[in-house]
Amino acid sequence: MSRETDPEARIPDGRIHGDIPVVDAASAAEHVPDDATMFVSGFGSVGYPKAVPLALADAAAGGRDDGSEDAGAGRNLSLSVVSGGSVGGEIDEALVEVDAIDRRYPFQAREAINTAINDGRVAFADRHISSLGDDVRFGGLVDTDGSVAVVEAVAVGPDWLIPSTSVGLTHAFVEAADTVIVEVNEDQPLSLSAFHDVYRTGTPPERDPIPLTAPDERIGGPRIAFEPGKLEAVVETTGRDAPYEFRDPTDVDLEIAGHLGDFLEQEVERSSLYDDSLRIQFGVGSLGNALMGALGDADLGDRDLIYYGEVLQDGLLDLLDAGELRSASATSLALSTEGQERLFDDAERYAEDVVIRTGDVSNGPALIDRFGVVAVNSAVEVDLYGHVNSTNLGGSRMISGVGGSGDFTRNAPLSVIALGSTAAGGDISKIVPKASHVDHTEHDVDVVITEHGVADLRGTSPRERARALVECAHPDYRDDLRAYLDRAGATGGHEPVDLDTAFDWTDRG
Amino acid sequence: MSRETDPEARIPDGRIHGDIPVVDAASAAEHVPDDATMFVSGFGSVGYPKAVPLALADAAAGGRDDGSEDAGAGRNLSLSVVSGGSVGGEIDEALVEVDAIDRRYPFQAREAINTAINDGRVAFADRHISSLGDDVRFGGLVDTDGSVAVVEAVAVGPDWLIPSTSVGLTHAFVEAADTVIVEVNEDQPLSLSAFHDVYRTGTPPERDPIPLTAPDERIGGPRIAFEPGKLEAVVETTGRDAPYEFRDPTDVDLEIAGHLGDFLEQEVERSSLYDDSLRIQFGVGSLGNALMGALGDADLGDRDLIYYGEVLQDGLLDLLDAGELRSASATSLALSTEGQERLFDDAERYAEDVVIRTGDVSNGPALIDRFGVVAVNSAVEVDLYGHVNSTNLGGSRMISGVGGSGDFTRNAPLSVIALGSTAAGGDISKIVPKASHVDHTEHDVDVVITEHGVADLRGTSPRERARALVECAHPDYRDDLRAYLDRAGATGGHEPVDLDTAFDWTDRG
């Protein structure tokens, strides 16, 4: 196990090592069986393969059974596509447009795949990121017979690769897959190697604890190993990621950030867990990005601020540049294009303080617990008893997937849900009588913050929780929420609900 | 740290060690402030304090503001009572009857406290067992100023005690509490010391991994330590636990056990996780007890069967006696009175194979993961997409609490929910369109088993899940469930729901 402390020492000389079968993308795509389980690298919309999926889409383009001129001329693909997190349009648009994807796991963030899922054309299931590696390694999630892992890398050897802008679950995918196809992308700098820290968890019941003793420690090296002989093809590619685009922080974002900062200032004084440092995670997205950026304004005394989360977004880069963040651990460099350029220009320096880990370490339940991470995630809606919907609009229409929100919300000693009090320009309250879908239960949610305030739910009964949460709702909805609570209270019980009207507010889409 | 491998060496000579303030229960009760947070030992309805709670109830008996003759004559108690798990009537009946409990955490199983919770007279919140210790140690759950831990023990010294029939979270309670009162119960044999293995987790962010490398290993000793000077009083008591009473297995229980056995026989052959052994957990209750007992009939080849769960019930004792169980790890000896007698008569021999741990180790998320435990828990209802209600009848009426079901269901690589397909003599389907309360989400539930069959939900989309679960419902309800799915499907979406009729079946109580 390599634990080079000098970032430069983790960067290999050259991209292709040893006697490697370099082919073009179309040839590589022929190694993907029509009905294969195709594992792909990628997380946070970066580090995904680009050329082979496009070649597959090209090959399938004539295969549609739609009466068109070229019907039946192409490959008839029915792939099960498994990624670590969200990937680019080369997969979740191009392959969807040719009906090449039958199944998709466990997270997506593009309109084409999303529409196909909600129309029932693609069978989708979201999974916790921390357990996805085991799900594919030990079976039960997908059929791995004839499966292929298609992975973007900055360097490759006969039995190893170095991932590009994300690590995710790629180490588990190349272990589970029968064969491996690597895209070596020359637009992804070799210096990305300096960020990566790959650790492979053992097999239960003899699985050792993950030996990480601090959020910024390194316990592996940049290489992902796989069995010699699995490497089917290498394709030399170009092309940048199409990462997330964040909107500028809104007034509501900044008000939420202010409340969060105030709350954290009190909490770090109250609890012995934060005597020396605050370890924190933020969910992916524009609000999370804004909250990260604003955290520099909180007065944490002499405490170090440390990020232990899933993705590195631009807000964290700002904090690093300002000297306000000691270190960051994540599984993806999910930066904007501008953020990637800042990072690439000075990769070795950033790699002193930034570690990109495997997804089962970045999101490891045991590590979130041991490091005492404060989790801050957003949501679609929160109900009056603290149940949280993160995934399905109106209870049924999937957005992206549960991702890592469950890993952090469930295992953090302090779990915060931060969200604007309304959606749709004020037409929808995000504080609702009853969550139309539940991803995180009342047992896991400690604090809810909106632009209207902080509801500290710890130690409260459901009735007390409801009263606190009404005060975080938009004023326009508070009377109606109280009226709901009166109706529910009349039915009695520990957690009073009025099932006849609980969903009267829910947007039916 | 003592790791005596000879059970006898873990048993102390005598019960009271050193210069200890022995008083009667009434005097000890005076050390509990009227509005205190009172932590009590006890888990699985065994090992709870008996004399001091009864003395408190006596002292309060005249304190009721009910216009009766002795109104105002007694203590006016408003306690917050925190236990590890369920406790006896001395607490959850006697103290409730005199309105002495204002708040109660995190689990209970007696009608008196349950009625008070559902009437809104006692503020209750259920918590995961694995995180309860941190909740009280690091604050946020209850006020610990002036708090008292009242603990049943088999032996006590100036700064230590040895618990009786359960360990639970007692180690965290004596750490969080300002003072400690110990009941030394001479009807609880000293030989119980031989079972206990107390380990104290460290404080984040420097918390080490729990160093347990095998389910039957010992990493501590029988003693729970506390700060010298906290010991306020010791009371010598007698009196046996009032443990759970299990019904005999029903035909439905046995049919479920048969399906579970068949499923496990296939699964251990399929996955490399079970090459040498099957580690398994069962939830508390009559069904769990029946499933444990019936597991001896499954053909697991040469594999060892190992229990890693929360409570030791009679079914496991039967398996141990039959030589079909290699070892058992739990936090409570939640046996019937007859089972306790069997165990007490031969404690040192049983303690070779049975370890009673602290609740954060018995239920530790990291350990459930590292040992690859198969979790088998029951439920109130399961919905067509795999969301599980374990706690609230009709969405509102609390039964007992989430207990350890979330710890195991969330962290096990294979989570099974086993339940009869109907309740109320067939009048209620336990397979429902939409769970009226969600404790475990679709992301955590892998397999559902009823007397009608096995639904393996792994890798399935919600629509596929629903079809599989309809086949596990009672035949009388299948057509109605299909009709619901047709209505829901018309609204579209990834996980189609018809919010207008989703709760039409729910029992409103």
Average pLDDT, chain A: 95
B457: tokens are 């939900």
**Subunit contact B493:A394, Cβ cutoff 8 A:** yes
Classified as helix, coil or strand, B280 is strand
Q: Read off the pLDDT of residues B211-252 as tens digits, 9 standing for 90 and up.
A: 999 999 999 999 999 999 999 999 999 999 998 888 889 999
Same domain flag for B285 and B170: no
DSSP string over B293-331? HHGGGS--TTPEEEEESSB--HHHHHHHHTT--SEEEES
Specify the residue for token string 């109706």.
Answer: A487
Q: On the CB side of B346, how many CA atoms lie within 13 Å of its CA?
A: 12
Interface of A with B in 299-358 (CB under 8 A): none
Q: Read off the pLDDT of residues B349-408 as tens digits, 9 standing for 90 and up.
A: 999 999 999 999 999 999 999 999 999 999 999 999 999 999 999 999 999 999 999 999
Distance from CA of A126 to the nearest CA of B (A): 7
Residue range A88-112: mean pLDDT, rounded: 98
Specify the range with the lowest mean pLDDT, choosing from A152-166, A401-415, B228-242, B276-290. B276-290
Same domain flag for A81 and A43: yes
Residue range A283-295: mean pLDDT, rounded: 85
**Subunit contact A141:B279, Cβ cutoff 8 A:** no
Which pLDDT score, from 0 to 100, does residue A4 have? Answer: 57
Is B65 within 8 Å of B72 (Cβ atoms)?
yes
Q: What is the complex's ipTM, to 2 decimals?
A: 0.96
Same domain flag for B176 and B302: no
Which pLDDT score, from 0 to 100, does residue B1 have? Answer: 37
Specify the residue for token string 């399906």.
Answer: B259
B277 touches chain A (CB under 8 A): yes
Which pLDDT score, from 0 to 100, does residue A490 have? Answer: 93
Instruction: Grade residue A286 by pLDDT with cuts at 50, 70 and 90.
Output: confident
B124 touches chain A (CB under 8 A): yes
A449: tokens are 């913050």
Q: How many CB atoms lie within 10 A of CB A219?
A: 16
Distance between CA atoms of residues A48 and A165, nearest Å = 8
Is A379 within 8 Å of A390 (Cβ atoms)?
yes
Does B482 reside within a domain? Answer: no
Asked if residue B2 has pLDDT above 60, the reply is: no
Nearest to A342 by CA among A311, A327, A321, A322: A321
Which pLDDT score, from 0 to 100, does residue A1 have? Answer: 37
B54: tokens are 């009864």
HEC secondary structure over B64-130: CCCCCCCCCCCCCCCEEEEECCCCCHHHHCHHHHCCCEEEEECCCCCHHHHHHHHCCCCEECCCCHH
User: Which of B39, B367, B396 to probe by mutation at the A interface, max A CB count within 10 Å?
Assistant: B396
Distance between CA atoms of residues A334 and A48, nearest Å = 12
- Which of residues B506 and B109 earns the better pLDDT score? B109
Same domain flag for B258 and B217: no
Distance between CA atoms of residues A205 and A214, nearest Å = 25
Same domain flag for A20 and A65: yes
Instruction: Grade residue B63 by pLDDT with cuts at 50, 70 and 90.
Output: low
**Subunit contact B497:A123, Cβ cutoff 8 A:** no
Which pLDDT score, from 0 to 100, does residue A294 have? Answer: 80
Which H or E element spans position A388? strand A388-389
β-pairing verdict for A231-237 and A179-185 = parallel
Residue range B109-117: mean pLDDT, rounded: 98
The closest CB to that of A438, out of B211, B387, B410, belongs to B387
**Cα A245 from chain centre:** 15
Q: Read off the pLDDT of residues B400-434 as tens digits, 9 standing for 90 and up.
A: 999 999 999 999 999 999 999 999 999 999 999 99
**Subunit contact B493:A461, Cβ cutoff 8 A:** no
Evaluate the omega torsion of the peptide bond into residue A205 and state whether it is cis, within 30 degrees of 0.
yes
**Subunit contact A461:B207, Cβ cutoff 8 A:** no
Nearest to A111 by CA among A92, A85, A135: A92
Distance from CA of B418 to the nearest CA of A (A): 19
Nearest to B203 by CA among B40, B360, B310: B360
Counted domains in chain B = 2
Residue range A196-201: mean pLDDT, rounded: 98
Q: Read off the pLDDT of residues B296-313 as tens digits, 9 standing for 90 and up.
A: 889 999 999 999 999 999
Same domain flag for B170 and B304: no
Specify the residue for token string 């044999």.
Answer: B189
Which pLDDT score, from 0 to 100, does residue B285 have? Answer: 84
Angstrom distances, CA of residue B60 to CA of A104, A288, B89, B147, B356:
61, 51, 16, 18, 35
Indicate the DSSP class of residue B367. Answer: H
Domain boundary, last residue among B211, B237, B263: B237
B115 touches chain A (CB under 8 A): no
Which pLDDT score, from 0 to 100, does residue A49 have? Answer: 98
Nearest to A488 by CA among B395, B506, B504: B395
Q: How many CB atoms lie within 10 A of CB B453?
A: 18
Distance between CA atoms of residues B171 and A156, nearest Å = 51
For residue B242, give every residue at least 6 positions away whose Cβ sits within 8 Å of its Cβ, in sequence order, or none.
Answer: B45, B88, B89
Does B404 reside within a domain? Answer: yes
Which pLDDT score, from 0 to 100, does residue A288 have? Answer: 87
A70: tokens are 């070229």
Q: What is the CATH number of the domain that holds B343?
A: 3.40.1080.10
Angstrom distances, CA of residue B297 to CA of B147, B264, B278, B294:
49, 11, 14, 6
Phi, psi dihedral angles at A62 (to 5 degrees): -90, 0
Same domain flag for B341 and B230: no
Residue range B83-95: mean pLDDT, rounded: 98
Evaluate the omega torsion of the peptide bond into residue A106 and state whether it is cis, within 30 degrees of 0.
yes
HEC secondary structure over A326-353: CEEEECECCCCHHHHHHHHHCHHHHCCC
A127 touches chain B (CB under 8 A): yes
The closest CB to that of B494, out of A138, A208, A392, belongs to A392
B364: tokens are 């530790």
Asked if residue B65 has pLDDT above 80, the reply is: no
- Burial of B322 from C-beta contacts in 10 A (0-12 / 13-18 / 19+): exposed
**Cα B171 from chain centre:** 16
Same domain flag for B290 and B437: yes
The closest CB to that of B441, out of A139, A205, A438, belongs to A438
Average pLDDT, chain B: 95
Q: Read off the pLDDT of residues A202-221 as tens digits, 9 standing for 90 and up.
A: 999 999 999 999 999 999 99
B371 touches chain A (CB under 8 A): yes
Distance between CA atoms of residues A311 and A334, nearest Å = 6
Which pLDDT score, from 0 to 100, does residue A116 have? Answer: 98
Query: How does B421-438 read in b/e, with b if 16+ C-beta sit within 10 Å?
Result: bbeeeeebbbbbbbbbbb
Distance from CA of B311 to the nearest CA of A (A): 20
Does B151 reside within a domain? Answer: yes
Does B168 reside within a domain? Answer: yes
User: Which of B494, B495, B499 to probe by mutation at the A interface, max A CB count within 10 Å?
Assistant: B494
Distance between CA atoms of residues A332 and A45, nearest Å = 9
Q: Read off the pLDDT of residues A445-471 as tens digits, 9 standing for 90 and up.
A: 999 999 999 999 999 999 999 999 999
The closest CB to that of A438, out of B138, B207, B438, belongs to B438
Does A506 reside within a domain? Answer: no
Does B460 reside within a domain? Answer: yes
The residue from A310, A324, A341, A451 that is catalytic is A310
Does B53 reside within a domain? Answer: yes
Q: Read off the pLDDT of residues A412-439 as tens digits, 9 standing for 90 and up.
A: 999 999 999 999 999 999 999 999 999 9
The size of chain B, in residues, is: 509
Residue range of the domain that includes A381:
251-491
Determine the longest span between alpha carbons in chain A, in angstroms.
Answer: 75
Which pLDDT score, from 0 to 100, does residue B64 have? Answer: 52
**Subunit contact B509:A493, Cβ cutoff 8 A:** yes
Helix, strand, coil percentages in chain B from 3-state DSSP, rounded to 5: 30, 20, 45
Distance between CA atoms of residues A412 and A308, nearest Å = 11
Distance between CA atoms of residues B162 and B184, nearest Å = 9
Which pLDDT score, from 0 to 100, does residue B73 have? Answer: 73
Same domain flag for B215 and B257: no
Does B191 reside within a domain? Answer: yes
Distance from CA of A400 to the nearest CA of B (A): 11
Same domain flag for A45 and A67: yes
Q: Read off the pLDDT of residues B28-53 as tens digits, 9 standing for 90 and up.
A: 999 999 999 999 999 999 999 999 99
Distance between CA atoms of residues A463 and A467, nearest Å = 7
Same domain flag for A229 and A263: no
Interface of A with B in 66-85 (CB under 8 A): none
Same domain flag for B124 and B167: yes
The residue from B90, B310, B381, B451 that is catalytic is B310
Domain boundary, last residue among B181, B203, B237: B237
